[in-house]
Amino acid sequence: MSSLNSFISFVASRKSEIFHLFMQHIQLTVFSVLISILIAIPLGILIVKYKKLSGPVIGLVNIIQSIPSMALLGFLIPVLGIGSKPAITMVVLYSLLPIIKSTYTGLTNINDATIEAAEGIGLTQSQILLKIRFPLAMPVIMSGVRISAVTAVGLVTTAAFIGAGGLGYLVYSGVQTVNNNMILAGAIPACVLAIFLDHIIGKIEDVATPQGIKASSSDNSNKKSKPLFNIKKYKKPLAILILIAIFAGIFMGYGKKEETIVVGSKNYNEQLVLGNMIASLIENKTNYKVERKMNLGGSSVVFNSIKSGDIDIYVEYTGVALVNIMKKEAISDPNEVYNIVKDAFKKDYNIEWLKPLGFNNTYALAVKQELANKYNLNTISDLAKVSSDFDLGCTMEFANRMDGYLGLQKLYNLNFKNVKGIDGGLRYTALQNNETQVTDAFTTDGLLQKFNLKLLKDDKKLFPPYYAVPIVREDTLKKYPEIKPVLLSLEGKITAEDMQKLNYRADEGEDPRKVAEDFLRAKKLID
Amino acid sequence: MIEFRNVNKIIDGRTILNNLNFTINKGELIVFIGPSGCGKTTTLKMINKLITPTSGQILINGNKIETEDTIQLRRNMGYVIQQTGLFPHMTIKENIGLIPSIQKVPEDKINDKVVELLNLVGLNPDDYMNKYPSELSGGQQQRIGIARALVMNPEVILMDEPFSALDPITRNQLQDEIFNIQQTFKKTIIFVTHDMDEALKLADRICIMNKGSIVQFDTPAEILQNPANDFVREFVGKNRIWAQPELIKVKDIMIKNPVKSSPNRTIIQAIGIMHSNHVDSLLIVNESNHLIGFITLKQIRRNLDRSEKVSDIMERELITVNEEESIVQVLKKIKKEDIGYVPVVDDEFKLTGLITKSSLLTILSNQFLDVEADI
């Protein structure tokens, strides 16, 4: 019951956000399905007319269908950037196959005698298509659309990875922060939407199926019923409505405002808080318009976005820039790292690194507070003395990294009784249950607050520095000169402990924007 | 009205139609018949340009159809096919009124026309207008098919095996209706079938085709009586004519060399002739073979004077039939006059043969035994 209550209170506290994402999800789904209908049905007609094309076309959409969605997004981002465009493109591409196939099947599986009669009495080919083939193929075509639409609801959740929003945002954020309420808040509306769409299209299918065909499938003796409503009568309004929906969608997708600063973030809570912090700060201190493109995806997605100009600003970590983006060896001196990436980014990408925000979000080892007290543990060197009594529960990745456990072993002469590979939030559960005594962590992890853990100091500086720094496109700085001083006011303002607390609040389901703004207010950075 | 000139159709090097030449007159009901693959349907579909000839020309009212607008041509031509070809998603009214509504004929006029046509094909408009094809029986659907073919008031109606999927009773009714419609409206109807009975029943002329060529194009009577070759005889069926007894003529079934005598013979001699020919009567003809009387053994027995001549005692009141008359008329006459035999004469009253009850019995029984054997 308590979990239900917490779910309800979570939904209640985030209801406007959930509603917004839900609407976004609907828009993306409906818009994508409409576009794929607009592409697939004419294509289906085309391959009916030119049978030779049917092999290549169906083959091609089959291949598209077999590409994993993540890979497809990977291909699309360099071309289309991030946000709703690649997301819609992906969903459209996946929706093509069922609609094209059903259109083709529907239009070709019509009784030859019917077509011959139509020709024989003097209908033109286009009249045959419109008045005979199409109405008769309608049930089959609609079943294809139905499959596409339901699949699209699911596919749109992956759109969250590339910043298109939608309910996937909640699902993936929830997975990352071990927040079941958030996962459910995304998954349940998505399911409901899928079922609802299936139902609606089923109804449309029912209405679109010509009465005469229906009568033959069911018993026709007692069916004198008129169709529920006369489609013909509503044809025009219906068409107009659909057109409006399409155009509205187009404006939403492409009506990108030119005169705004776009602030982006990666897809986890710390980034969301920092992104919102920057956005709110600029909004508050300048007259510029700010657009928030949060939760875009992993480092490479967000970095590509700032490179291509889809976003103007986000917060990057020095270590990530050095190791992941520039593919260099890790260096332990924070200032050296900062200078290397600052110079390289300026030269290679015309992106400027501002000043570090203060905290270093790097790897760390953590133990429970009482354990630390008992053994008087403050540094990893302290831990090394007693490590043979303890079990380490860490991620697989940490266990296998040179700047992780392997390096620790070497540098500190750590020697745990057991090393257990455990993923994500489970590491903390294991620690809580005393199945393990030591875990790896990130220094700003909100869960450190939640479980009251003690971080051990990396006194021999094994872990590379990951200082958080706002990075901005140079052309943006030129165009909006007030940004720089405003953002510099954040320099050194956030300690690791601050960040832990902020993360913790966001993990617990608070709106990252509110968390960020509360912090700014507390620090008197905004009014 | 419709003329085929040297029409050929070759598909993938295979000759489908081989040099067709024929003319169909206005108001005729022409039936194309032949075994499967003979080209009868291909020929029909050339008339509304569903199939185009490889070479040759087709003219309607003197105009080459290849230069005419295909759609317009088809709209001015009724087309009825097997399995109806009705559009399942349209009501009966929409099916019939489809072309007029495409041509923007006012709605109320279409309505009137549909009502008129439904009445014509014997379906109550109020009951059927708003039904869908699937709610109708096969026969009713085909009636709608006919109504649809008539909606543009075409001069020509093409019918491609329209009744072949129907049960015999329904088929008969519809054949009668098509026949009546043709009689009433004098439409030119081209009708394809594989059913010889249907052809004989409906056709003004029948075109028998085989392997892409026309074998015989003639009236039903001519085809039955004078089949052009063995193929036609075989195809029509040699006993087919018995289904049309009015086409069987006396000269086909009579005894060709009846026993006859001159009026100048003596009775003794007459008795001799009867004896030697195993008959009990003689037909009496003059020198020019004109029938002038007959004599029976009974008459001779009544007359004891054996020295008299045949001419003295012969019966001069004669009941005869003309050799061109049909078997039906002979049977009527035999029944009416209650006689056992009828002499057959030509137009000049010359004796050409004889029909007796026993010769009729022989012919009819042969017929039925043959039929049994065929089955």
- Domain-embedded: residue B179: yes
Question: Which chain A residues are within 8 Å of B82, Cβ to Cβ?
Answer: 113
Tell whether B56 and B76 lie within a shared domain: yes
Tell whether A449 and A476 lie within a shared domain: no
- State yes or no: pLDDT of A480 exceeds 80: yes
Tell me how many helices (H) and strands (E) chain A has: 26, 10
Domain final residue, candidates B247, B281, B316? B247
Report the residue from B85, B102, B132 with minimal CB separation from A117. Answer: B85
| Banded pLDDT at A394 (limits 50, 70, 90) | confident
- Domain-embedded: residue B48: yes
Is residue B73 within 8 angstroms of chain A, CB to CB?
A: yes
- State yes or no: pLDDT of A223 exceeds 60: no
Q: What is the pLDDT of residue A471?
A: 94
Most confident of A225-234, A453-462, B188-197: B188-197
Look up the ipTM and state it. Answer: 0.70
Please name the residues in contact with A430: beta carbons below 8 A apart, sequence gap of 6 or more. Answer: A393, A420, A422, A436, A439
Report the residue from A120, A131, A216 with minimal CB separation from B88. Answer: A216
Is residue B46 within 8 angstroms of chain A, CB to CB?
A: no
- Domain-embedded: residue B371: no
Tell whether B300 and B238 lie within a shared domain: no
Tell whether B60 and B108 lie within a shared domain: yes
Q: What is the pLDDT of residue A255?
A: 46
Q: Which residue has the higher pLDDT, B341 or B43?
A: B43
Most confident of A114-118, A218-222, A227-231, B260-264: A114-118
Domain final residue, candidates B231, B247, B263? B247
Distance from CA of A136 to the nearest CA of B (A): 7
Tell whether B200 and B178 lie within a shared domain: yes
Number of domains in chain B: 2
Report the residue from A116, A211, A212 with minimal CB separation from B85. Answer: A116
- Domain-embedded: residue A512: no
Domain final residue, candidates A190, A211, A232? A211
Is residue B273 within 8 angstroms of chain A, CB to CB?
A: no
Q: What is the pLDDT of residue A516?
A: 92
Tell whether B342 and B217 lie within a shared domain: no
Q: What is the pLDDT of residue B84?
A: 67
Tell whether A154 and A22 lie within a shared domain: yes
CATH number, domain containing residue A23: 1.10.3720.10
Distance from CA of A115 to the nearest CA of B (A): 8
Distance from CA of A150 to the nearest CA of B (A): 28
Least confident stretch, A256-260, A402-406, B61-65, B161-165 = A256-260
Distance from CA of A233 to the nearest CA of B (A): 16
- Domain-embedded: residue B373: no
Tell whether A145 and A98 lie within a shared domain: yes
Domain final residue, candidates A409, A429, A456? A456
Structure token pair of residue A456: 């051990």
Q: Identify whether the C-beta of residue A315 lies closer than 8 Å to the C-beta of residue A272.
A: no
Tell whether A187 and A46 lie within a shared domain: yes
- State yes or no: pLDDT of A176 exceeds 80: no
Tell whether B181 and B324 lie within a shared domain: no
Is residue B135 within 8 angstroms of chain A, CB to CB?
A: yes
Structure token pair of residue A491: 């320099």
Q: What is the pLDDT of residue A234?
A: 62
| Banded pLDDT at B21 (limits 50, 70, 90) | very high
The answer to whether the CB atoms of B134 and A215 lie below 8 A apart is yes
Tell whether A294 and A370 lie within a shared domain: no
- Domain-embedded: residue B187: yes
CA dihedral for B166, B172, B177, B180, sign (positive or negative): positive
Tell whether B174 and B81 lie within a shared domain: yes
Structure token pair of residue A207: 């209405």
CA dist., res. B16 & res. B37, Å (int): 8
Distance from CA of A106 to the nearest CA of B (A): 14
- Domain-embedded: residue A394: yes
- Domain-embedded: residue A347: yes
- For the segment B293-315, the average pLDDT, to the nearest whole number, is 79
pLDDT per residue as tens digits for the range A338-374: 999 999 999 989 999 999 999 999 888 999 988 889 8
Domain final residue, candidates B247, B269, B298? B247
Q: Could you list the residue range(s) of the whole structural domain that residue A68 is in?
A: 2-211
Transcribe B69-90 into DSSP letters. -HHHHHHTEEEEETT----TTS
Question: Which chain A residues are within 8 Å of B85, Cβ to Cβ?
Answer: 113-114, 116-118, 120
pLDDT per residue as tens digits for the range B72-120: 899 989 999 887 689 988 999 999 999 999 989 999 999 999 999 999 8
CATH number, domain containing residue B283: 3.10.580.10
Which residues sit opposite B58 in a β-bridge? B4
Phi, psi of B78 (to 5 degrees): -75, 150
CATH number, domain containing residue B35: 3.40.50.300
- For the segment A326-338, the average pLDDT, to the nearest whole number, is 86
- Domain-embedded: residue B147: yes
- Domain-embedded: residue A517: no
- Domain-embedded: residue A20: yes
The answer to whether the CB atoms of B79 and A210 lie below 8 A apart is no
The answer to whether the CB atoms of A212 and B82 lie below 8 A apart is no
- Domain-embedded: residue A429: yes
Tell whether A304 and A348 lie within a shared domain: yes
The answer to whether the CB atoms of A121 and B90 lie below 8 A apart is no
Number of domains in chain A: 3
CATH number, domain containing residue A437: 3.40.190.120
Mean pLDDT score across all residues of chain A = 83
Query: By C-alpha distance, which of A454, A445, A468 is closest to A334?
Result: A468
- Domain-embedded: residue B375: no
pLDDT more than 70, % of chain A: 90
Tell whether A53 and A107 lie within a shared domain: yes
| Distances in whole angstroms, Cα of residue A233 to Cα of each of A127, A247, A435, B87, B109 | 20, 23, 70, 21, 21
Tell whether B260 and B237 lie within a shared domain: no
Which residues sit opposite B344 in a β-bridge? B321, B353
- State yes or no: pLDDT of A268 exceeds 70: yes
Report the residue from A113, A127, A216 with minimal CB separation from B102. Answer: A127
Interface of chain A toward chain B, CB-CB under 8 angstroms: 113-114, 116-124, 127, 131-132, 135-136, 210-213, 215-216, 220
Tell whether B217 and B320 lie within a shared domain: no
Report the residue from A113, A116, A124 with minimal CB separation from B71. Answer: A124
Scanning every residue of chain B, which has its alpha carbon at the shortest distance from the alpha carbon of A113?
Answer: B85
The answer to whether the CB atoms of A212 and B88 lie below 8 A apart is yes
Tell whether A424 and A485 lie within a shared domain: no
Q: Could you list the residue range(s) of the whole structural domain that residue B333 is in?
A: 251-364
Is residue B156 within 8 angstroms of chain A, CB to CB?
A: no
Q: What is the pLDDT of residue A245?
A: 63
- State yes or no: pLDDT of B373 exceeds 50: no
Question: Which chain A residues are within 8 Å of B98, Cβ to Cβ?
Answer: 121, 123, 131
What are the strands of the beta sheet with A468-473, ordered from one edge?
A289-293, A260-264, A313-317, A468-473, A351-353
- pTM here is 0.61
β-strand B341-345 against B351-356: which pairing, if any?
A: antiparallel
Mean pLDDT score across all residues of chain B = 86
pLDDT per residue as tens digits for the range A140-162: 998 899 889 988 988 888 887 77
Tell whether A350 and A383 lie within a shared domain: no
